[in-house]
Amino acid sequence: MRCPFCANDDSQVKDSRPTEDGGAIRRRRQCPACGARFTTFERVQLRELTVVKKNGKREAFDREKLARSIRLACRKRPVPSDRIEQMASGIARQLESSGDSEIDVRRIGECIMDALHEVDEVAYIRFASVYKNFHEADDFVKAVDALGGLLPDGTPELPLPAPPKARGR
Ligand SMILES: [Zn+2]
């Protein structure tokens, strides 16, 4: 695995163990060139998924991007990081099991909303309010960035928009 800090081609595995839910293997790695330490996760992938973006472009499904969106929505909310990982894995599994190899990006947003709705109402409303604008956004990345922009460092709480009546399906 290439070092994300200095781009050295190799890194050494220092420790390898299952995550708490047993759904992944966590490996602690160290770069022999710059000494940086980082962690990688090995997870089951049932099938390759392609995300079809709003502009028609396609990109490989990225579980980490999905987890990042959920993390942003849950920021400063009492949602344990394990729970966030579970949501991301659950959604990934659901999409992988759906039988479609191409996934409309809107479907991912809807899966995230469904998952958040059950876990934390505030996180759900945050995500839903960004998601509504997402229909005008170019792609999921912009929606995620917009979500991040709503929650700058040091913001104790967001002023909450009115809860959306419909999910806009
Ligand atoms: Zn390095």
Walking along the chain (169 residues) 10 residues at a time, the average pLDDT comes out as 92 92 89 95 84 85 88 91 93 89 86 92 84 57 52 40 48
pLDDT at 155: 36
Question: Tell me, what's the pLDDT at 22?
Answer: 80
Residue with structure tokens 């990934």?
Answer: 92
Ligand 1 geometric centre to CA of 86 (Å) = 30
CA of 4 to the centre of ligand 1 (A): 7
Ligand 1 centroid distance, CA of 149 (Å) = 30
